[in-house]
């Protein structure tokens, strides 16, 4: 089984399928590992909790309480369950059981086409490190490489991205640097979203977390304001 993307959804699919004794290989574009100091905060609902209950082999705490939500440390809880990746976030990752399939996280690769023939899927890929090409074979391919997916465009050429009606600025800063005055200003002048995410080495405690903020402005697609900010 092959996957085109190392984002959260792709890795979670890889974990579930690996637990069923299938071999899984993830193709991801970055040349060097994006998995070090790259935690992501996300809200965990009932389905996420069920996934962790069934597939998380690491018993360490994974969330910080937020009103109505739980904040998940993706780096520490999801990826180590895929291929036992060791990092500052998870220095003692779960080991692979004998019943599981093998897991490979393959960097510097980008899938650009899939071909189904004789009950086998062939993935044509670009090697972004050596500027060459290659093919890999699989029984199942999960295409999970986002809105700009080359393979999705080939499979569904009529599917077009549509402008959402707004532009946004976003940034990540240390939580203690996001002042109350800034919060009030953004709340009064526009739409904004902010949420906590794990800090260095996966820190979830107050004072160690990072804060992701997004600042939204509604703009018509054919206005100057949209074109300047979009560019």
Residues 6+ apart with CB under 8 A from 35: 6, 75, 79, 85, 87, 105
Residues 6+ apart with CB under 8 A from 138: 1, 2, 25, 120, 121, 123
Token readout for 15 is 């974990």
Q: Residue 217: pLDDT band by 50, 70, 90 thresholds?
A: confident
Q: Residue 230: pLDDT band by 50, 70, 90 thresholds?
A: very low
Q: Among 56-70, 108-122, 169-183, where is mean pLDDT lowest?
A: 56-70
Residues of the chain with CATH 3.50.50.60: 2-155
Alpha helix stretches (DSSP H) within 150-203: 150-155, 180-189
Q: Give the residue-averaged pLDDT of 92-118.
A: 87
Whole-structure pTM over 0.85, yes or no? no
- Could you give the CA distance from residue 92 to residue 40 in angstroms, rounded to a whole number? 19
Q: Give the residue-averaged pLDDT of 179-203.
A: 73
Q: pLDDT tens-digit profile of 149-190?
A: 888 888 888 888 888 888 888 888 887 787 878 777 766 766
Fold for 2-155, please state it: FAD/NAD(P)-binding domain (3.50.50)
Q: pLDDT tens-digit profile of 76-89?
A: 567 788 888 887 77
Residues 6+ apart with CB under 8 A from 107: 28, 29, 30, 31, 32, 33, 34
Measured from the Cβ of residue 52, the count of other Cβ atoms closer than 10 Å reads: 19
Cα distances (angstroms) measured from residue 50 to each of 57, 75, 123: 13, 18, 31
Q: What is the mean pLDDT of the chain?
A: 77
- Percent of the chain scored above 90 by pLDDT? 6
Centroid of chain to Cα 37: 14
Q: Give the residue-averaged pLDDT of 134-158.
A: 85
User: To 10 degrees, what angle do helices 8-19 and 46-55 make?
Assistant: 40
Centroid of chain to Cα 145: 9
Q: Give the residue-averaged pLDDT of 54-67.
A: 69
* 17, 42 contact by CB (below 8 A): no
Token readout for 52 is 């962790």
């Amino acid at each position: 089984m092959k996957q085109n993307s190392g984002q959260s959804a792709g890795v979670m699919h890889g974990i579930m399928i690996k637990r069923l004794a299938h071999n899984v290989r993830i193709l991801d574009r970055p040349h060097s590992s994006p998995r070090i100091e790259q935690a992501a905060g996300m809200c965990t609902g009932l389905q996420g909790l069920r996934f962790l209950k069934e597939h998380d082999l690491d018993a360490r705490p994974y969330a910080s309480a937020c009103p109505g939500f739980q904040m998940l440390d993706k780096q520490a809880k999801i990826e180590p369950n895929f291929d036992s990746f060791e990092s500052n976030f998870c220095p003692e990752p779960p080991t692979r059981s004998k019943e599981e399939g093998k897991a490979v996280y393959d960097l510097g690769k980008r899938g650009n086409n899939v071909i189904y023939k004789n009950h086998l899927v062939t993935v044509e890929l670009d090697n972004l490190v050596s500027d060459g090409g290659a093919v890999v074979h699989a029984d199942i391919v999960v295409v999970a490489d986002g809105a700009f997916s080359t393979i999705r465009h080939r499979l569904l050429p009529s599917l077009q991205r549509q402008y959402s009606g707004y532009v946004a600025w976003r940034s990540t800063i240390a939580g203690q640097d996001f002042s109350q005055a800034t919060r009030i200003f953004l709340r009064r002048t526009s739409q904004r979203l902010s949420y906590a995410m794990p800090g260095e080495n996966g820190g979830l405690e107050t004072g160690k977390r990072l804060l992701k903020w997004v600042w939204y402005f509604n703009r018509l697609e054919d206005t100057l304001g949209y074109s300047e900010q979009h560019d």
